């Protein structure tokens, strides 16, 4: 007899998680609580309620988390200019700690014994969900059906539905994309299908949010973004909430062919994986944030952030958002953003994001010093001679001792 009486399931309403509801009921003889998060995936989440009710679920949580997602997860990440392996903007990775947080909160409030998710045993998401859960509730029981059951394909899942009278019209028998997709306000990811061959080009009709650069308008689009402490607070002078900022940038960026990415990445579990990503708003945000930092951050502070960023990115990618080291790095990053205020003007054209202006009341750019014209004595060029000689001192000493770098 299982000691699991109640389980909180991260529930999408699709085939996999609908099967999981019944499988949990059958295998553990337990009550299932479903949690469906609206993170801006672009699909209605409310239909998940009827699907869960049809499976006998009594406690159903459907929550709009878009503002919290962008404000407390996406924006803090972008303050660090975070990119994994030089390209990936971590659209899937950054959503998992929020889902894990709510799973644990709901488990606590409902008295559940365990949580469950539909991530497979091959991917990163199982790690991210579970690391977050254990960090927030050390003794929680985690049930990962894909690591337990013998349902190994879509066909076996459909057979399970037929055998147990799970209505196939909502379990996923309708025409389905050939790709495994995950979407939220920051991005859409595509895996599987033809993409499993890293030599094969992605089909153009796969992309959902963006036109191809070839089909983008022939006229450039100009944007002006306003920053306060490293976060965008207005677009073209109009104040917006975090989620509205990202929604707006996705729409404008996608219309200009911005944000498509095709990469092979190194998963935390050890394998390489080919994936395609659409991140139009995030691509714009990254370019603009570096631009406003270029005039507001001290040089060494900026360089320290750049050195720290790969570690910060890997921490998030691997699922350690709720860790001491991530929080330590976040405090340093957030401290650096105190003076990252001002405006950035961008030019969007056929897949490109070009910075064409930046300004800030706290700018460290001093035109009187940087000018190529008469600087009226602001900078004494003779000072450069001593500066260069002092920096060359160790190399001059080594050379005088016979260390010839041309021969080494």
The catalytic residue among 49, 180, 267, 294 is: 180
Find all residues with CB under 8 Å of 221, minimum gap 6, and list them: 252, 255, 256, 347, 348, 349
The catalytic residue among 12, 66, 102, 125 is: 125
The catalytic residue among 16, 113, 231, 343 is: 16
Cα–Cα distance for residue pair 66/340, rounded to 1 Å: 24
Contact predicate 319/131, CB 8 Å: yes
Cα–Cα distance for residue pair 322/73, rounded to 1 Å: 11
Cα–Cα distance for residue pair 63/7, rounded to 1 Å: 18
> What's phi and psi for 287, nearest 5 deg?
-65, -45
Q: How many CA atoms lie within 13 A of 306 on its CB side?
A: 12
Q: How many CA atoms lie within 13 A of 13 on its CB side?
A: 21
Cα–Cα distance for residue pair 30/45, rounded to 1 Å: 24
The catalytic residue among 96, 102, 274, 358 is: 96
> What's phi and psi for 346, nearest 5 deg?
-120, 150
Cα–Cα distance for residue pair 320/327, rounded to 1 Å: 10
- Measured from the Cβ of residue 81, the count of other Cβ atoms closer than 10 Å reads 20
16 is catalytic: yes
CA angle 285, 247, 12 (to 5 degrees): 115
- Give the containing element (helix H, strand E) for 374: none
Residue 201 has what DSSP assignment?
A: P
The residues annotated with a catalytic role in the active site are: 16, 96, 125, 180
């Amino acid at each position: 007899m299982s000691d699991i009486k109640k389980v909180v399931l991260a529930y999408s309403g699709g085939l996999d998680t609908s099967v999981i509801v019944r499988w949990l009921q059958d295998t553990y003889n337990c009550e299932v609580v479903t949690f469906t998060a609206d993170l801006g995936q672009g699909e209605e989440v409310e239909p998940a309620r009827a699907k869960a009710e049809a499976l006998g679920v009594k406690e159903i949580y459907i929550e709009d988390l878009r503002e919290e997602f962008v404000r407390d997860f996406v924006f803090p990440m972008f303050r660090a200019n975070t990119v994994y392996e030089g390209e990936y903007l971590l659209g899937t990775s950054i959503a998992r700690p929020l889902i894990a947080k709510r799973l644990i909160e709901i488990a606590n409030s409902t008295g559940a014994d365990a949580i469950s998710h539909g991530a497979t045993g091959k991917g990163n998401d199982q790690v991210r969900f579970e690391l977050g859960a254990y960090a927030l509730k050390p003794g929680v029981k985690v049930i990962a059906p894909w690591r337990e059951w013998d349902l190994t394909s879509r066909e076996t899942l459909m057979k399970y539905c037929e055998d147990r009278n799970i209505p196939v019209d909502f379990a996923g028998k309708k025409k389905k994309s050939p790709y495994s997709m995950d979407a939220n306000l920051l991005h859409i990811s595509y895996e599987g299908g033809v993409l499993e061959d890293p030599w094969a080009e992605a089909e153009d009709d796969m992309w959902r949010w963006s036109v191809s650069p070839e089909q983008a308008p022939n006229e450039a689009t100009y944007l002006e973004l306003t920053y306060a402490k490293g976060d965008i607070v207005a677009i073209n002078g109009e104040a917006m909430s975090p989620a509205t900022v990202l929604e707006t940038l996705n729409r404008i960026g996608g219309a200009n062919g911005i944000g498509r990415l095709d990469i092979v990445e190194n998963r935390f579990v050890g394998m390489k994986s080919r994936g395609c990503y659409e991140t139009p708003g995030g691509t714009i945000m990254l370019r603009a944030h570096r631009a406003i930092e270029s005039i507001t951050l001290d040089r060494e502070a900026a360089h320290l952030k750049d050195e720290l960023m790969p570690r910060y990115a890997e921490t998030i990618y691997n699922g350690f958002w709720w860790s001491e080291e991530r929080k330590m790095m976040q405090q340093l990053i957030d401290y650096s953003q105190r003076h990252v205020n001002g405006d950035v003007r961008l030019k969007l054209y056929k897949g490109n994001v070009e910075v064409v202006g930046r300004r800030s009341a706290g700018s460290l750019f001093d035109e009187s010093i940087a000018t190529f014209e008469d600087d009226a004595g602001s900078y004494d060029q003779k000072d450069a001679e001593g500066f260069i000689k002092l920096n060359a001192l160790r190399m001059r000493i080594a050379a005088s001792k016979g260390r010839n770098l041309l021969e080494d």
